[in-house]
Every structure is written in structure tokens, then in C-alpha cells.
Amino acid sequence: MRTARRASNVEVPSFLRQLAKETEKMVTFFFKGGSREPGSSQEGSLNEDDSMLSPYLDHPILEKHVSEGGSQSGVNYAVASMQGWRAQMEDAHTCMPHLHGELTEWGYFAVFDGHAGTTVAEYCSRNLLDHILATGGVKEDEDPEQVKEGIREGFLDIDRHMHKLARQGSWDRSGSTAAAVLMSPRYIYFINCGDSRTLLCRNGQVIFYTEDHKPFNPREKERIQNAGGSVTLQRVNGSLAVSRALGDFDFKEVDWRPQTEQLVSPEPEVYELERMPEDEFLILACDGVWDAISNEELCAFVRSRLQVCNDLREICTQVIDLCLYKGSLDNISIIIVCFPGAPQVSQEALQQEATLEQQIDMKVEEVIQMMRSKNEDPDLLYVIKFLTAEEMPGLPPGGGITSKRDCIISAYQKHAMTPRAQEPMVGQTQKRKQKHSNSANNFTIALVLCCFRT
């Protein structure tokens, strides 16, 4: 194997609203990576940060765009994308389960993760395949070496073409990674330029995944330095976090170096793998996914979901939510391509899932009753921490308790909102002070969950 790598309507006291506001400012400040000038106050620096243009939003945009399709050969796919915390949605994608002409049995899927703008990612999503096919290397009577060379030349050609357009027009200064697969009846061609990633699951294992192109990789660093640049803070000239990309023409102006030897190279790495009946599914995703979850974890999670859900779109959205909950701050896009050998929904897996959710419901009820026995109000944050620390068999592999957040919230709402039978009003009045002491935690976690929840 290549190791190539809804808000509550309850009235909230004013002091709690202020607490939540200040907490949100601090969290936002932390995620934005702001720095304070010597001698400046915390409040001043936060206000200054609020006025600066930031790549991050105060609240994530959770709307998801999903679609699905398939081919006559039994290959099915779904794609989902979400803007998330980023100020712009800069991802793009292409899904073609079958091509045209003599290549009707071929398929093409790609994810483009744009940065510093959307122009390059969107242009490549519409035109990259055409540039690849125009080389003549991709034919029905395929020669893998010719196909790989055609893919490579197609990348270089579209980059040259976009460079001319950028000089002639008013293009932004954007760039884009590209992770793609070109599938023939016999082979899968894995294509990568940048740090988006593709993997293949076969017989329940990650059999292949592409290597991220990072500036600190020895081979990439050598090319950058030979072109007169440097790798600072693990970035090209302290700025760009990927060493290969389409676009990014400010990093491709070293006249005395060839196209593939610039500070940032548009040259993809291409590998072919022979298709097998044991092939289960492909995953193509931007680094908004891989920053939050490993190859093996994602493979295991998707495989487990395929056994309890026959809607690929739903599985894609579950992956996006999982990555968001695991801390991804980037745009998130994922394509799942399933082969005939992919796991199917089974009654055994469905029963295990139902049993797990019953256990979660019972655990949530148990924690709430325990808190009430101590004259404490049910606290969602405490419930989540308790369940996280519990050894609970049957959790989705790769997702864990995080992937069952909807089940936890549903159980919490059901049990926490159930009033105690015949509780004296006097007793409720006596607890108001204690309730206020717990409300800060309740309100803070409610903000987070309501913000994230789709």
C-alpha cells in the first residue's frame, strides 16, 4: 500500500447574554489567530479584531448542497459540500459517472479546494477534463502510461491557459488544489495536486491514498529553494500552505525555471490501480475533512454507515457534520463513489444501531436523574462529558460518540424537559439561585449545539 497520505425561545437574563457575547468574542478571537499589540487591552484588541476582515465567520454557515447519481455499470455516487466557518465558499467539484463518445464506460470525479478566491477552482471544475482529453492520451484502448501522461499534460496545459487569462483579464489571485479519479473499466487513475486527498477502500481496508503536497516535504522543499524561495512556518515564503496547485500565479513568475519547477508546481502525481471485485468505495475530499479525521477513521465510519443507511447523500452529510464537530474550520466537500462490492444495509447492523441508540437514551436519562437527585438542574454539557468518558460498545468506528450528537440531543430534550412529578412550587423557588449558577454552562453549550446543529 502506498502511504502517499434552532435557538431557544426561553428568555435569558441580561447578564448571561453578556457572558455569552464575551465568551463568543474570545472563542472567535482564538480561532482567528489574532495577536495583541503590547500594552493594548483585551477589550480593545477584540474590538479591533472585529473590525478587521477575517477569513472566518462568527457563526458557521451550515446549509449543505447535495446531489447523487450513478452509471449503468453499478457505480453510484453522492456529493455534499458546506461553507462552514469560512467567509467564502471556495470549493468546487465535478461528478461525471460516465463520459461521452467512446469513453461512455469511463467515469471522472474531482474536488477542487480553492484559496484566495473562487475563480481557479470554478474554472477547473468546468474545464480540466476537457484539457486532459484534448491531449489524446485517454483512449478506449487504454495504455496506462499514455493515460497518466495525458492527465499530467492536461494539468500543465490548463495552468498555462489560465495564466494567460489572468494576465489579460481581471482574475483574482486565487489558486486551487485538485484531487480526482479517472476510472476505466479496468483501472482507477488517482490524481492529486495539493492537499486534498483521495482514498480507496477494498475489503474494509484503506488500500491506497494520495500524498499531500506540503512545502515541508523534502522533495517539495528542495524545489521551492531551487526556485529562490523558502519554507517558513511550513508555508511557501511564509504564505501558501500547499506546494502544488493550479493557479497561484504570483508563485509562478520565476522566468529561469520551467513550469514544473516553480515555487508552486501545477504538476499532479498520477497513479493507476487495477480495479478488483473487492473494491468497495472511493472517497474524494478537501482538507476540511482530512484536518479533522484520518484515512482509516473515515473509511471505517463510511463503511459502518453504509450498513445502516442506503442514502449516500445522508452519509456524506453525516461526514460533514462529524468533521465540523471535530473542529474543522474550513470549507468541507466530499464525494463518495460506491462500487457494486460496497457494504449493503443489513438487519443485523440496523438492530445494533437501534440497541446503541436505546443505550444512549438510557444513559442520558440516568445522568439527568442523578443530577436531579443532587438538586441540580440537568446540564447538557455535563451529559456530553459524561457520555464521552463512558465506555460504550457499538459506537460507529471512526465517529465515536461525536457522531451520535443528534441522538444525545433528542434524548436530553425528552428527559430534561420532563418536569418532576408533583414537585412543590416552593422547592422550585428555592432553587432559582442554584439554577442561575448552572445557567451559564447550559447557555454556552446550547449556543454551540444550536449553532452547529443542522
C-alpha to C-alpha distance for 190 and 197, rounded to whole angstroms: 10
> How confident is the model at residue 54, as a pLDDT?
83
Please determine whether the domains at 57-338 and 347-452 fall in the same fold group of CATH: no
Output the CA torsion sign for 100, 73, 68, 302: negative
CATH class of 347-452: mainly alpha
Sequence-distant (6+) residues with CB within 8 A of 109 are: 77, 93, 94, 95, 96, 180, 181, 183, 282, 284, 335, 337
β-sheet bridge partners, residue 279: 202
The one-letter amino acid code at 344 reads Q
Render pLDDT for 102-115 as a digit per residue (tens, 0 to 9). Answer: 999 999 999 999 99
Fold of the 57-338 domain: Phosphatase 2c; domain 1 (3.60.40)
pLDDT on residue 418 = 74
Q: Is 241 in contact with 234 (CB distance < 8 Å)?
A: yes
Rounded CA separation 241/246 (Å):
13
Kindly list the domain boundaries of the chain, sorted by start residue. 57-338, 347-452
pLDDT in tens, 394-407: 999 999 999 998 89
pLDDT score of 95? 98
Residues of the chain with pLDDT under 50: 1-23, 25-51, 422-423, 425-454
Strands annotated E in 131-232:
175-183, 187-193, 197-202, 205-209, 231-232
> For residues 246 and 156, what is the distance between their CA atoms, to the nearest angstrom?
9
